[in-house]
Amino acid sequence: MSEFDLIRNHLTGLGAVRDDVIIDVGDDCALLDVPKDRQLAVSIDTLVGGVHFLADCSPESVGYKALAVGLSDLAAAGAEPAWATLALTLPQADEAWLEAFARGFAALASEQDVRLVGGDITRGPLSITVQVHGFVPVDHALRRGGAKPGDLVCVSGALGDAGLALAHLGRGEPIDGYLRRRLERPTPRVALGEVLRGVATSAIDLSDGLLSDLGHILGASGCGARIELDRLPLADQVAGAVAASGDWSLPLASGDDYELCFTLAPCHAGELAILSAAAGCPLTRIGEIDSQPGLRFVLADGRPWQAAGTGYDHFG
Amino acid sequence: MSEFDLIRNHLTGLGAVRDDVIIDVGDDCALLDVPKDRQLAVSIDTLVGGVHFLADCSPESVGYKALAVGLSDLAAAGAEPAWATLALTLPQADEAWLEAFARGFAALASEQDVRLVGGDITRGPLSITVQVHGFVPVDHALRRGGAKPGDLVCVSGALGDAGLALAHLGRGEPIDGYLRRRLERPTPRVALGEVLRGVATSAIDLSDGLLSDLGHILGASGCGARIELDRLPLADQVAGAVAASGDWSLPLASGDDYELCFTLAPCHAGELAILSAAAGCPLTRIGEIDSQPGLRFVLADGRPWQAAGTGYDHFG
């Protein structure tokens, strides 16, 4: 079984059929048509075995998540997903693994109208790199650098679920179906990103934790923020863990949430329920942008809370 | 030094300045303008430390080669290079390594008018994935599947240099400057690819050896070929190694040549010198496409020669 056979047998024809794909997997390059009046948004990410996913994670979930992570970046730019390319490094030609991986990847790709247009397979320590490609109307991409004092800070979904799942698994404890789905099958907030175009003043996806990722918005926008901790949207299990420990690091500084954090001008404050309905996911206002640099957290009783870390960092 | 600092310090502003880059390294997505009347060609490739390059290869050469490999794929499609994205996996935050890697990458990027528009750094076993992006006039991309019986089979440059360099290094023997350049700093034949648009009937880049890569053209085109071994363009050292061993595997089945192999209709036979001058590299006619499936090699005296292997294969 050569690398060419592996690509032909397992990485060809994955995801949606799209008429903007002129040459698909199997030539030196894929050849693609970008629609007129659209800009191309691209993002590349690597998942390393044992670092970004546990060794015993099912290959189907790894395939799903490898694409979800990229689509979450497209969502943060407000882009409509179109194509993906995949570079796989495998320790050996394990066809059962590859078949399950491709099934997970294709499930999300089909759901999001994405085509896999290019694949590369090499031998080495397990690692998966996916590049995603999407479209944005000219000059309408969401960016990190547009937040202004007075803007509301909002997040989608719930925070800290994947972090709690990893903490349990790290201690050898079982996790329930909800936490496993949140860790292994995060939902990229693509519909939300499209709804926020022309509405949000800034956006980012939460891959490294709110502390770190909102920090990027503040850095790019040249402002600060005040977050009310009792407003954070938390699943019961995460709320319980925070209550038991008195430590807010779990929802603030653990990675892999893949929710969007975004800012809204105050005039849009009344529209959060409409945006939530349009995007099909919960949205919560958690604080406000201000002009004082830095990120401040306030407890329900008004006392400040100081974070110990700065979010997930590979080299920290 | 966090992954964000590493990206900001070492992967920002690499390569040419281009006004089709709307958002550069540092947001969730890069945002790019594809010119009207152009199709987008993309290719993704991974280099794994210890597999695709030797552990003692200079990081500057690794950076150069990681981009060259991708540009060679664009050349095979006849595409004009524009942008690259880079996903780096590093065992540790080695700034000296990263600085030298970026220098090598940027040297070739600037020379080929390419901008690095997206970067990701993760921790793990050393591995480098580069995606390249280029433009082709609508419906003018070179492909693998257009060769016809009677077409000439041609290659650029010389074959087997990188294979000979690796063989020497594998035996602990020194190599001269020519072989080292051919192994570590291959010249992607971008100008040749553009010259061949509308002229060549098929093209591929030689990354796995002529035997394997010309095999892909034949498979996609549904025909065979007859190659005259005494016509193969060989540097003196490679010719000497073949003469000494009587084995043609070195120029036929070793990888990393990064030359183009292409086919020309017989009516263009007289234009090889003009195409060579326009592309700035030697071009050699080495055989002919025929209707009999398979790849046949003929010695100078007319006897057939049988290849033992099928080119470089990661899982072979």
Question: DSSP secondary structure string, chain A?
Answer: --HHHHHHHHSSS-B---TTEEE-BTBSSEEE-PPTTEEEEEEEEEEEBTTTB-TTS-HHHHHHHHHHHHHHHHHHHTPEEEEEEEEEEESS--HHHHHHHHHHHHHHHHHTT-EEEEEEEEESS-EEEEEEEEEEETT----STT--TTPEEEEES-SSHHHHHHHHHHTT----HHHHHHHHS----HHHHHHHTTTEEEEEE-SS-HHHHHHHHHHHHT-EEEEEGGGS---HHHHHHHHHH--THHHHH-S----EEEEE-GGGGGGHHHHHHHHTS-EEEEEEEESSSEEEEE-TTS-EE--SS-S--TT-
For residue A316, is pLDDT > 60?
no
| Distance of alpha carbon A48 from the chain centroid | 16
Tokens representing residue B263 in the block: 């086919």
Q: Which residues of A touch B204 (CB under 8 A)?
A: 28
For residue A7, is pLDDT > 60?
yes
Indicate the pLDDT class of residue B238, thresholds 50, 70 and 90: very high
Q: Of A92, A58, A208, A49, nearest to B124 (Cα)? A: A49
pLDDT, residue B313, reads 61
- Residue A39 is nearest to which of B33, B48, B220, comparing CB atoms? B33
* Nearest-CA distance A30 → chain B (Å): 5
Cβ–Cβ < 8 Å for A252, A159: yes
Indicate the pLDDT class of residue A163, thresholds 50, 70 and 90: very high
pLDDT digits (tens, 9 = 90+) for A231-284: 999 999 999 999 999 899 999 999 999 999 999 999 999 999 999 999 999 999
Indicate the pLDDT class of residue A295, thresholds 50, 70 and 90: very high
For residue A311, is pLDDT > 70?
no
pLDDT, residue A310, reads 61
pLDDT, residue B18, reads 98
CB contact under 8 A, A89 and B45: no
**Burial category of B57 from C-beta neighbours within 10 Å (exposed 0-12, middle 13-18, buried 19 and up):** middle
* Nearest-CA distance B1 → chain A (Å): 7
Q: Class of the B152-305 domain?
A: alpha beta
- Chain B segment 199-218 residues within 8 A of A by beta carbon are 203-205, 216
For residue A285, is pLDDT > 60?
yes
CB contact under 8 A, B39 and A51: no
Q: Which residues of A touch B118 (CB under 8 A)?
A: 42-44
For residue A98, is pLDDT > 60?
yes
Is some CB atom of chain A closer than 8 A to the CB atom of B146? no
Cβ–Cβ < 8 Å for A130, A70: yes
Q: HSE on the CB side for A259, CA within 13 Å?
A: 28
Cβ–Cβ < 8 Å for B66, B128: yes
Q: Of A244, A21, A38, A235, nearest to A116 (Cα)? A: A21
Indicate the pLDDT class of residue B307, thresholds 50, 70 and 90: confident
- Residue A48 is nearest to which of B4, B28, B122, comparing CB atoms? B122
CA A39 – CA A18 distance, rounded (Å):
18
Which ipTM did the prediction report? 0.94
| Least confident stretch, A52-61, A216-225, B33-42 | A52-61
pLDDT, residue B67, reads 98
Q: Which residues of A touch B39 (CB under 8 A)?
A: 22, 31-33
For residue A314, is pLDDT > 90?
no
pLDDT digits (tens, 9 = 90+) for B51-106: 888 878 899 999 999 999 999 999 999 999 999 999 999 999 899 999 999 999 99
Look at A27 and A275; give whichever has higher pLDDT.
A275
Q: Residue type for B113, please?
A: D
Q: Of B251, B252, B275, nearest to B263 (Cα)? A: B275
Indicate the pLDDT class of residue B315, thresholds 50, 70 and 90: low
Cβ–Cβ < 8 Å for B288, B223: no
- Residue A42 is nearest to which of B49, B118, B143, comparing CB atoms? B118
- Chain A segment 155-174 residues within 8 A of B by beta carbon are none
| Distance of alpha carbon A203 from the chain centroid | 12
Nearest CA in chain B to A140: B31
pLDDT, residue A2, reads 85
| Distance of alpha carbon B206 from the chain centroid | 6
Cβ pairs bridging A and B (under 8 Å): 220
CB contact under 8 A, A23 and B141: yes
Cβ–Cβ < 8 Å for B170, B179: no
Domains in chain B: boundaries: 3-137, 152-305
Structure letter (DSSP) for residue B25? B
Indicate the pLDDT class of residue B316, thresholds 50, 70 and 90: low
CB contact under 8 A, B144 and A28: yes
Is some CB atom of chain B closer than 8 A to the CB atom of A94? no
pLDDT digits (tens, 9 = 90+) for B168-210: 999 999 999 999 999 999 999 999 999 999 999 999 999 999 9
- Residue B141 is nearest to which of A31, A45, A48, comparing CB atoms? A31
Averaged pLDDT, B126-132: 97
For residue A8, is pLDDT > 60?
yes
Q: Class of the A3-137 domain?
A: alpha beta
Q: Write down the pTM of the prediction.
A: 0.95
CB under 8 Å to A30, separation ≥6 — which residues?
A21, A23, A24, A83, A85, A117, A118, B41, B42, B43
- Residue B315 is nearest to which of A47, A86, A93, comparing CB atoms? A93
Average model confidence (pLDDT) across chain B = 94
For residue B145, is pLDDT > 90?
yes
For residue A64, is pLDDT > 90?
yes
User: 3-state DSSP call for residue B19?
Assistant: coil
CA B52 – CA B59 distance, rounded (Å):
13
Give the mutation candidate from B22, B27, B34, B207 for the A interface (greatest A CB count, under 10 A).
B27
